[in-house]
Chain A
Amino acid sequence: MGFFSVLGDFFQILKHTFRQVFKRPFTYFYPFEDREYPERTRGRHIHVRKSCTACAQCVRICPVVAIRMDKEDKKYEKDCALYFDYTRCVFCGLCVQACKFEALFHTPVVDMSEGDREDLIYGPEKIETLDREPLKWRGRRFR
């Protein structure tokens, strides 16, 4: 009768769970240790003003209207005052592909939380600077 086979199934399952207790956990302490992000990670952008021509291709292709270009702002060279609205950005990568002049890139910086929504709109100054080396990670590497 199936009674003993069912009992065997129970013990098989208990064996699997019991073994798992002594295994190394999969998760890691995220803010204290981090893993390496791949080169292609679509994180926040970096804008290279030196090679930008203000052609506005990135503004046109953006499907969620997250990029704004202020042509009136004459403070910047070639008038490319780019505003990135990270409350809207979906990190699709179309703007980087649309850029013909190698002036816009993704960085592997994905943790960009702010206390204020306004701070997530990266102005022309902020979008061309990185506050830390993108490939240098806090804590020890994991995995």
Chain B
Amino acid sequence: MSPDILEDAMELWFGPQHVSAHGWATKLTLVGDYVVECDPNAGYFHRSAEKVLEYKNFRQGALILERMCMLEAFLAEYPYVAAVEKIAEIEVPERAKVMRTIMMEMSRLHSIQFWWGQFNAELGFFTMALWPWVDREYSLDAFEELTGSRHTVSYSTPGGVKYDFTEKSMKQLNRALDRFEDRLPKFRDMQMGSPTFRARTENIGLYDVKQGLKWGLSGPPMKACGIPMDLRKDDPDPNLAYDMVDWEVPITENPEHPGQSDALDRMEQRFAEAETACEIIKQLIPQIPEGPIIDPKARGKANRLPEGEAYARVEGTRGITTLWLKTQDKAQTAYRAKIRGPCIASYYALKDLVPGSKFADFIVIFGSLDPYPGWWDR
């Protein structure tokens, strides 16, 4: 970029007090209506979770993880629990595996419903922002009926899950799924069928697979490029019950730009993700086996862990969510826990993705990648 262009550039801080920047700030350099430089800043949400985890024992730790991303609370807490189970060699009962999988997909559905509304609010369409949030209330009701809490479920614990399904919670779960599937065609009309939505999102924030992988992007932003990159299939967790279900990795291929994804593809991908989540839950509900929900020895085993390292990974709503855990012998707390949130990559990607686009499209690109500040600030 030649320096004389930058002479009449305007520096604009997008955040941290901006209405749509909740916990992040990006410095934009504008020339006219175009963004020529984008400098994402992190650290406004930093709660030093990794250090805190070094002081919490293995039953408390999952609670800290849950607060990294309230929207996918169960998905966020699961890697920690899985890592502890790997080091302590805890067996998980079959029933707990299925319940974890159901909860995980439910959490994904809820997160997508929330993102959906938020993205539409960012696009200035508050009707479509509120409608998915109504469905989200039903998902939250299902969480509440099962675990007693609406957001921070704190459902899984080393060795299984904490609460068993009741008849009423099954009813709430089915109600949430039915409600979502009922409204899906209408939402499709309002989103994909909306000419204004297509106008705003087509060819916005375009990147290809190779570029996305270099940034470290994963999850729906990559699957929207048309590649079946999903840890649920690629690296199946033995403590989850995805192999009991017949399902395909949802991908979105746009014939207009193969191997690339724009904001419209990413919205379509979220539709597919939510539908797949619904399908998996519907298939799993009749298959829940009888049995205990928690290994009775797990509580004792999780109190003091042997020396070891474990790397637990899960396909979160926003991408690969991992936790690397190192313990010392007879440890009550973690020696080192590293949280890898998916959004650190998608927020970093703005740096290369945004320059050259219009200022009004910045928030569309940001919203379509669905970054959540808790994941990069931890």
Point out residues on A near B: beta carbons under 8 Å. Answer: 6, 9-10, 12-13, 16-17, 20, 26, 37-38, 40-42, 61, 63, 90-94, 97, 106
Contacts and interface: CB of A to CB of B under 8 A. Distances in A.
A59 to B, nearest CB: 13
A20 B189 CA distance: 14
B28 interface: no
B56 interface: yes
Nearest to B64: A63
B56 A63 contact: yes
Nearest to A37: B144
18 contacts: A6-B195, A9-B194, A9-B195, A12-B189, A12-B193, A13-B194, A38-B144, A38-B168, A40-B144, A40-B145, A41-B148, A42-B147, A90-B152, A91-B149, A92-B152, A93-B149, A93-B162, A94-B59
A121 to B, nearest CB: 21
A6 B152 CA distance: 43
B190 A16 contact: yes
Interface in B170-225: 186, 189-190, 193-195
Contacts of A41: 144, 148-149
B279 interface: no
Contacts of B194: 9, 13
Contact of A17 (B127, B137, B162): B127
B272 interface: no
Contacts of A90: 63, 152
Interface residues of B, number: 26
Nearest to B155: A93
Contacts of A91: 149, 152
Interface of B: 56, 59-60, 63-64, 127, 134, 137, 144-149, 152, 154, 162-163, 168-169, 186, 189-190, 193-195
A40 B142 CA distance: 12
Nearest to A64: B63
B54 to A, nearest CB: 13
A47 to B, nearest CB: 18
Contacts of A38: 144-145, 148, 168-169
Contact of A92 (B154, B169, B190): B154
Nearest to B195: A6
Contact of A106 (B137, B148, B190): B148
Nearest to B61: A63
B86 to A, nearest CB: 22
B139 to A, nearest CB: 14
A61 B104 CA distance: 25
A13 B149 CA distance: 36
A111 B208 CA distance: 49
Contact of A16 (B59, B147, B163, B189): B189
A12 B162 CA distance: 46
Contacts of B148: 38, 40-42, 93, 106
Nearest to B299: A97
Contacts of A94: 59-60, 63, 154
Return the 6 tightest CB-CB contacts between A and B, nearest first: A40-B148, A63-B60, A42-B148, A38-B145, A6-B195, A92-B154
Contacts of B195: 6, 9-10
